[in-house]
Structure 1
Amino acid sequence: MTRETAQTSHPANDLVARLDAADRLPGAELLRALSYDLLGAEPGTSVVDVGCGAGRAVAELTERGVQAVGVDPSERMIAVARGRWPAADFRIAGAYELPLPDASVNGYRADKVFHELDDPEQVLTEARRVLVPGGRILLVGQDWDTFVIDSDDPALTRTIVHARADMTADPRAARRYRNLLLDSRFSDVTVEVHTGVFTGSAMLLLLTGLAEAACSSGAITREQTDTWIAEQRARAEADRLFLALPMFVAAATAAR
């Protein structure tokens, strides 16, 4: 294997590619803009983007005149973000210990992060620590049990979705956003659901990943995996693929 091949096939590079693809999906830009508005991210305010990945949100917030800080535990992600937006502020850190002083930011944003957390309550305690009194928190994410996929075999599809959910630390975190925020003493909690409907071949990568993950967990056989993926590929070629993906958007205010 050449060095170039090794680099392009590295799992971290695959994740960057998936994040970039997600950022380009219909509605993704509008959903990001909504998250900034719900944060009150105006010029002169400050926001920490937790789990910033390749840094697009930090760059967009900076363009708005916001003092934005992106944090991510992955050195690879931070390196990519710094390479793309060298003038922006990116730091290697996890959600449990943010490299920020107490009461130092007006907004806290976490997009597709909480389903990966073992202790969301502790993370929200950390969010309260860094937020100024009256600061805003914004959580975005999917519920991993609510992928809606059309298939000739709904029972197998249900098995695939649930098997992939079971491989996630907290697959139903999004449906718990409201109660998590209330239990952590945030106020003015609101929750919106924005459902993306996808019918093109761009989502084949995601659907293939769901099936392959279910296969690797032993929930379905190799034959079932190949058959299901072939059906979804055929649906895409015939313009009959259907995936609906609800995204939950929760916002709240830190205690004054």
Structure 2
Amino acid sequence: MFKTTEHMDSLIQLLDVVDAMPEAVALRARSYELLDLPDGAAVVDVGCGAGRAVAELAERGRRAVGVDVSEKMIAVARHRWPGADFRIGDVFDLPLDDGEVAGYRAEKVYHEFADAAGALQEAKRVLAPDGRIVLIGQDWDAFIIDSDHPALTRTIVHARADMTPHPRAARRYRNLLLEAGFKDVEVEAHVGVFTDATMLPMLTGVAEGARTAGAITPEQEAVWVTEQEERARAGRMFLALPIFVATARRSRE
């Protein structure tokens, strides 16, 4: 999904809407608190997208670097925040020196990595001893959606999750960090609740993905999407996303 320029533009528009929501603003602020970095400390935001977190970290006095594999995202970020440091790079080969940063932040990206353990090894490489890591992400296999068709909804959610490289990465944050050798690992659970049409494109996209995967028929997709559209118009849509925030420190070893 979101491979073409048109789809990428749609993704950026959706992210802009979501990032402006009070819950998202509060969650980002919480992640900055958990990084617990002094003024002037270097921090990398991995999978930075259009760069909002990088700009906010810089406003807080941190030397923030944004890294994303998408040239389109980096171009948008550089346009929006011309004074910030954005770099094209891969999560498994970050454009940073060993121990260069005191903080590592990644929001809603680890579900895209089939090799999350490899990404964490790269995080350890670029983090200084005792550097802090913060991971934020939703569990793609645990979306909660109100519907008059609960069995069909379960099929749609699980089918769309199965199209994601690591849909349950967020529930594994704690164990992934422990297995990678991080210390002082802690996890918080947050729930995002959406009841209006703002997140309707996400729901229709989930249904489209399930139909593309062959899990549901076009007729089933149409029935389910129509119901969600009617709920959105009537102010009766309900979507809840479990979001996990994990923090840890790089050991001195």
- Output the TM-score relative to the length of structure 2: 0.96
How many aligned residue pairs are there? Answer: 249
Q: Deviations over 1:143-180 (max 9, x none)?
A: 10110001001000000000100000000000000000
Aligned to 2:51: 55
Please state how far the C-alpha of 1:238 moved relative to its aligned partner: 1.8
Match of residue 248, structure 1, among 225, 244, 247:
244
8 Å contact kept, 1:26–1:196: no
Counterpart for residue 189 of structure 2: 193
Tell me what 2:75 maps to.
79
Aligned counterparts, 1:145-184, within 5 A: 145-184=141-180
Alignment match, 2:206: 210
How far 1:22 moved relative to its partner?
1.8
- Residue 9 of structure 1 deviates from its aligned partner by 6.2
The DSSP-based 3-state class of the residue aligned with 2:202 is helix
Misfit runs of 4+, over 4 Å: none
Q: Equivalents in 2 of 1:237, 1:82: separation in Å?
A: 37
Secondary structure at 1:10 match in 2: helix
Q: State the Cα deviation string for residues 11-48 of structure 1 (Å, max 9, x = none).
A: 22122112212212340000000001101133211100
Whether the 8 Å contact between 1:195 and 1:245 is mirrored in structure 2 is yes
Matches for 1:105-120 after TM superposition, within 5 Å = 105-120=101-116
- The answer to whether the aligner puts 1:143 opposite 2:139 as a matched pair is yes
- Alignment deviations for residues 57-80 of structure 1 (CA, whole Å, 9 cap, x no partner): 000000001000000011010000
Structure 2, unpaired ranges of 5+: none
Q: AA paired with 1:36? A: Y
Q: Deviations over 1:65-119 (max 9, x none)?
A: 1000000011010000000001000000010001111111010001011100021
Conserved? CA contact 1:185–1:254, under 8 Å? yes
Of all paired residues, the percent bearing the same amino acid is 63
TM-score, normalised to structure 1, is: 0.95
Who is 2:91 aligned against?
95
The SS at the match of 1:36 is: helix
Letter in 1 for 2:208: E
**Which one is further off, 68-77 or 233-242?**
233-242
